[in-house]
Structure 1
Amino acid sequence: MAENPVKIIHRATWIGSIVNVSLAVLKITVGKITGSQALVADGVHSFSDLITDTAILIGSRYWTAPADEGHPYGHGRFETFTNIFIGILLLVVGIGIGWDSLSALGHEANATPGMLAFWAAIASIVVKELLYRWTVIQAKKINSRSLHANAWHHRTDALSSLPVAVAVVANYVFPDLHYLDQVAALIVTAMILKAAFEILWPAILELTEAQGDDGIEAKIQGYASEVPQIKEVHAIRSRRTGSTILLDFHMLVHPDMRVEDAHTVSEKFKSHILSQIDELVDVIIHIEPYTCAERVINPCCEDKSCD
């Protein structure tokens, strides 16, 4: 029996939260002791993960709920709004860190950070990369976009520690380059802002009713070509709601086919595509006769019949 998706989300998020707290305290403490502004910024980034963890813990209780009378298409948009919250939070954190780093560039340089900052950054890279890989596995089990977004938040945290480690070593090798730590903090900022965009943009497209899957039309056409009774499919439309996709299209059958037979063909075809496309949760098929008035892909020629 498959494990409850909510349990998977909560387990992955709680484990991530414990790791985030531990690393955030470590990096901020070591950053203050060694004078590494970049490591402190990286620690603040780790603390921001806690807010996204909380959002996922709360939001998952809603977006995993089944469709009801008030939400006949399900509650997937709660996951969309959770992703938007995560993206906006990352954006704000990134802008704040970037502003502090730019301000520091115009002042007297800090002392060279101690090598303890290097080892703290290395520990963060290793732990957060492992956490990213494990969280992605959990996200794929239940096809959760929010959990996947949070996994990328972990990887961003790992990547953001890399310039910190490089800056500490470079400051020892080239002590005259006083502002390498601030430059590293700016690189961290760029990584955070990139992650924010990659989380926000798909959520924005979803809210604006963009096509749910760019490749779904070709898939449906391919599946339809394997069914002799289906003469044509067109007007294929999809939209995403959280981690799921809703689909509708027109299916053309021979004009002489009985309504009952056409319905049977459409139900079998619906079951087939639902089994083939994991994210797909509902399909609406509009049955039409294969006549000149309805044909789109293969329109009738003036001197030919519709057969």
Structure 2
Amino acid sequence: MSDTAVKVIQKVTWIGSLANIALAFIKITVGTMTGSQALIADGVHSFSDLVTDTAILIGSRYWTAPADKEHPYGHGRFETLTNIFIGVLLALVGIGIGWESLTSISEQAHSKPGMLAFAAAIVSIVVKELLYRWTAIKAKAINSRALYANAWHHRSDALSSLPVAIAVIANYFVPELHYLDQIAALIVTAMILKAAAEILWPAVLEITEAKADADIESKIQAYAAEDSDIKEVHAIRSRRTGSTILLDFHLLVDPVMSVDKAHTIAENFKSHLLYELDEVVDIIIHIEPFNCKERVLNPCCDDCDSDINTLS
């Protein structure tokens, strides 16, 4: 990752942190003043964003580091660990808010939230949605999954403020519906847990070495078909490390071709793939002769000891 990308991550995260501090303080203070449990819960959610911001600021110093002797494949998994931390923290915050709401849902409200609580929720929705859109654009520009996960943390905060605003305004005009505040907090919980799952699942797939991209094999085959010197590509394997993808596959060429020419074909194809596939940063190609023994996609005979001169 370039120095420019690192600076983008640092700048976006610091601005988001300052916004989170302000919003958390406003929502918790106003929630306490007006007696809105949902707004307080939403403020705690905003405060949890500060922890994830810190994880991004610290983690980015590691996952952006180049490959070294101890980490020959790079440091991308540090970004994966950061995503896991963000997802787990979100889940814990959601569970805590949900438990507090469930245990107090039958309690009578001592006061009804006023329009100040409604205004605080609206401000949160607007600010956090703007932060989400801006952070997501920056994350896409530099291809950072962790920054995009943090963008969704902003979006979950914006969405969580929506039921809070609805509950506050409904409770203001219809005090008998005091339980709407707790129900809104439960809706906030569901949204937080959903966001946590959407962040955690890709990280789990990466840690368990799942295929990086469902479409990557078909893309490679399509590019290979455009090169007449490439007879076949098979045994394609891909894995993700942070925001990048590592590839390896077998490439078959004319068996009478010189090693030097076969190497050149492989290197040119590798360069082409690195240019076309944005997330791919390294490719290992195993060159094989295009004969009956090595062919996989279109086997030419049942007896693999056949003379290679019978090849079409």
**Common fold by TM > 0.5:** yes
1:256 partnered with 2:247 = no
Which amino acid in structure 2 is aligned with residue 306 of structure 1? L
Report deviation, 1:174: 3.0
Does structure 2 retain, via aligned residues, the 8 Å contact 1:233–1:249?
A: yes
Does structure 2 retain, via aligned residues, the 8 Å contact 1:163–1:184?
A: yes
1:306 partnered with 2:311 = yes
Describe the SS at the equivalent of 1:184: helix
* 2:79 matched residue in structure 1: 79
Provide, for residues 237-286 of structure 1, a one-character-per-residue CA deviation record: whole Å limited to 9, x for no partner: 00000000000000111111111111000000000000011110000000
Report deviation, 1:169: 1.6
Report deviation, 1:231: 0.7
Report deviation, 1:137: 1.5
* 1:236 matched residue in structure 2: 236
* 2:225 matched residue in structure 1: 225
Does structure 1 retain, via aligned residues, the 8 Å contact 2:212–2:245?
A: yes
Report deviation, 1:112: 2.0
* 1:112 matched residue in structure 2: 112
Q: 1:29-40, aligned counterparts within 5 Å?
A: 29-40=29-40
**Would the alpha carbon gap of residues 134 and 253 (structure 1) be closer, same or farther in structure 2, given more than 3 Å must change?**
same
RMSD: 1.3
Report deviation, 1:3: 5.7
Provide, for residues 45-79 of structure 1, a one-character-per-residue CA deviation record: whole Å limited to 9, x for no partner: 00000000011111100000000111000000000
**Would the alpha carbon gap of residues 106 and 71 (structure 1) be closer, same or farther in structure 2, given more than 3 Å must change?**
same
* 1:138 matched residue in structure 2: 138
Which amino acid in structure 2 is aligned with residue 170 of structure 1? A
Which amino acid in structure 1 is aligned with residue 244 of structure 2? T
Report deviation, 1:173: 3.6
Structure 1 unaligned residues grouped into runs of 5+:
none
* 2:281 matched residue in structure 1: 281
* 2:172 matched residue in structure 1: 172
Describe the SS at the equivalent of 1:83: helix
Describe the SS at the equivalent of 1:252: strand
**So what's the TM-score if we normalise by structure 2?**
0.96
* 1:54 matched residue in structure 2: 54
Q: Distance in 2 between matches of 1:302 and 1:58?
A: 57
Greater shift after overlay, 297-306 or 68-77? 297-306
Provide, for residues 10-54 of structure 1, a one-character-per-residue CA deviation record: whole Å limited to 9, x for no partner: 100100000000000000001011111000000000000000001
Q: Distance in 2 between matches of 1:197 and 1:223?
A: 35
Report deviation, 1:141: 2.0
1:190 partnered with 2:190 = yes
* 1:214 matched residue in structure 2: 214
1:161 partnered with 2:166 = no
Report deviation, 1:302: 4.7
Does structure 1 retain, via aligned residues, the 8 Å contact 2:106–2:179?
A: no
Describe the SS at the equivalent of 2:238: strand
Describe the SS at the equivalent of 1:248: strand
> How many residues in Structure 1 have an aligned counterpart in Structure 2?
306
* 1:149 matched residue in structure 2: 149
Q: Distance in 1 between matches of 2:72 and 2:131?
A: 36
Q: 1:287-298, aligned counterparts within 5 Å?
A: 287-298=287-298
* 1:65 matched residue in structure 2: 65
Structure 2 unaligned residues grouped into runs of 5+:
none
* 1:181 matched residue in structure 2: 181
Which amino acid in structure 2 is aligned with residue 230 of structure 1? I
Greater shift after overlay, 63-72 or 166-175? 166-175
Provide, for residues 87-128 of structure 1, a one-character-per-residue CA deviation record: whole Å limited to 9, x for no partner: 010010000000000001132334221111111000000001
**So what's the TM-score if we normalise by structure 1?**
0.97
Describe the SS at the equivalent of 2:51: helix
Report deviation, 1:80: 0.5
Describe the SS at the equivalent of 2:136: helix
**Would the alpha carbon gap of residues 267 and 113 (structure 1) be closer, same or farther in structure 2, given more than 3 Å must change?**
same
Does structure 2 retain, via aligned residues, the 8 Å contact 1:110–1:178?
A: no
